[in-house]
A = this chain, B = another copy of it.
Amino acid sequence: MEKKHAYKTLCKKSCQKVTIMLKDGCSAVEAVSAAVVSLENSLLTNAGRGSNLSLSRKVECDASIMDGRTLNFGAVGALSDYMNPVLVAKELLLHQNNENLSLHRISPCVLVGEGASQWARSRGLKSIKSDLLVSENALHTYNKYKRKVEEAENDPRKFLQREPANNETLHSEAKEMEKNPCISSEAWFPGDESLKLDTVGAVGMDCCGNVASAVSSGGIVLKHPGRLGQAALYGCGSWAQNSLSSTEPAVAVTTSGNGEHLIKTMFARTCAETLISNTDGVTGLHYVFHTKFLESPFLIHTSEKLAGVLAMKFDPVSNSVEVLWAHNTATMVLGYMSTHVTKAVTMFSTLPSSVDPGHKPLIQGSLLKLHNKIT
């Protein structure tokens, strides 16, 4: 119960911090990256410091960011020595916006491993010692599951034994909109028996109607070193695109859950496409979660499919924003806030007790009328 409160408080603080920045006129890209930074900085989440440890007992982070205005994208994968992987992804994004490499070389959009660290250092971003990203909790979890895996692999009868499906995955906080960020985080409660899931993310819109999305993840516990999850892959962990006309919506999406399943369904982009073409956000999210994820031919051989989605859709005609979320993980913490209110709305969303995680999702949304006309 106390943990729930801690997660909600973290999200609330993050929402409120970013709302102040947006009031001061910061861009959507700045807003979502700042939101993710505050979630990465917390030891509660599986992103940045406190991330899950890989099989080789190391933190390896993925993060990406997409700018709805330029449609540029920056991502890092398997990054081991940065407090805030999302800031490296943002730097890659901004570098593309101001591209001027000599001899018309093209700015990279995805960098991984030590190469990504080198690039970030060359751009003035300070790395830290890899060990400093390892938290006590992460180490505890690592030791516990390492032992379980070893036991299971030494005993073929246990090999396919199922963990109890009571994983407390989380998403974070809530707000109102008009130049708003939406923030989600997913993490694991120490003490529960499931394999820890991942991902923090944020979507947001600035005062000019530009949208952005960011995502950051330590990946699944005991992942193989060098494994990339959805957070590092284009179209999978984050998606954002501005309105293309005065009648078309702007959409931003961030996803969490089982990385490989979110990759194979390109779930962030797929959700965005559906939200753009569907009038009602909740109906659209319902359709896309069932048809393009749970029943996807790309996951036909997969029995348990876990996903969480946080999305926003701005309709320029009605000058309103739908904040939307869906998850079939046991829980998800989320939050939203706009610049004309003083308090974030935070929420600890929980699947009904009759529903097993990995199947039917909980889908909800909140419609927010904007005060000022976005132009």
Using CB atoms and an 8 Å cutoff, list the residues of chain A in contact with chain B: 54, 60, 70-73, 77-78, 100, 102-116, 118-119, 145, 148-149, 152-153, 158-163, 195, 220, 222-228, 232-236, 244, 258-261, 263-264, 266, 269, 297-298, 300-301, 304
A-B contact pairs, 6 of them (CB 8 A): A102-B160, A103-B145, A104-B163, A113-B226, A115-B226, A119-B226
In-complex Cβ contact of A108 among B159, B162, B260, B261 (8 A): B260
- Docked Cα-Cα span, A149 to B263, in Å, equals 36
- Docked Cα-Cα span, A259 to B105, in Å, equals 11
In-complex Cβ contact of A110 among B73, B160, B235, B263 (8 A): B263
Q: Is A71 a contact partner of B264 (Cβ separation < 8 A)?
A: yes
Which partner residue on chain B sits nearest A228 by CB separation?
A: B110
Q: Is B263 a contact partner of A102 (Cβ separation < 8 A)?
A: no
Q: Which 9 A-B residue pairs are closest in the complex by CB-CB distance?
A: A115-B226, A115-B225, A102-B152, A113-B113, A108-B227, A110-B228, A112-B112, A111-B226, A71-B298
Which chain B positions have C-beta within 8 A of A233? Answer: 110, 233-234
In-complex Cβ contact of A263 among B109, B118, B153, B220 (8 A): B109
A78 CB to nearest chain B CB (Å): 6
Q: Is A235 a contact partner of B266 (Cβ separation < 8 A)?
A: yes
In-complex Cβ contact of A106 among B73, B108, B114, B260 (8 A): B260
Q: Is A112 a contact partner of B71 (Cβ separation < 8 A)?
A: no
Which chain B positions have C-beta within 8 A of A222? Answer: 105
A204 CB to nearest chain B CB (Å): 20
Q: Is A106 a contact partner of B297 (Cβ separation < 8 A)?
A: no
A262 CB to nearest chain B CB (Å): 10
Which chain B positions have C-beta within 8 A of A158? Answer: 102
Q: Is B115 a contact partner of A227 (Cβ separation < 8 A)?
A: yes
A318 CB to nearest chain B CB (Å): 24
In-complex Cβ contact of A223 among B78, B108, B118, B232 (8 A): B108
Which has the most chain B C-beta neighbours within 10 Å: A72, A107, A113, A226? A226
List 19 additional contacts besides A106-B258, A234-B236; criterion CB under 8 Å: A60-B115, A71-B297, A73-B263, A78-B113, A102-B153, A102-B160, A103-B161, A104-B163, A107-B260, A108-B224, A109-B260, A109-B263, A109-B264, A111-B227, A111-B228, A113-B113, A118-B224, A266-B266, A266-B269
- Docked Cα-Cα span, A304 to B113, in Å, equals 29
- Docked Cα-Cα span, A247 to B60, in Å, equals 45
Q: Is B112 a contact partner of A77 (Cβ separation < 8 A)?
A: yes
- Docked Cα-Cα span, A360 to B311, in Å, equals 37
Q: Is B110 a contact partner of A159 (Cβ separation < 8 A)?
A: no
Which partner residue on chain B sits nearest A102 by CB separation?
A: B152
In-complex Cβ contact of A71 among B100, B235, B300, B304 (8 A): B300
Q: Is A73 a contact partner of B114 (Cβ separation < 8 A)?
A: no
A53 CB to nearest chain B CB (Å): 13
With A111-B227, A145-B103: A70-B301 Cβ-Cβ less than 8 Å: yes
A64 CB to nearest chain B CB (Å): 12
A122 CB to nearest chain B CB (Å): 9
Which chain B positions have C-beta within 8 A of A108? Answer: 223-224, 227-228, 260
In-complex Cβ contact of A112 among B70, B100, B113 (8 A): B113
Which chain B positions have C-beta within 8 A of A106? Answer: 220, 258-261
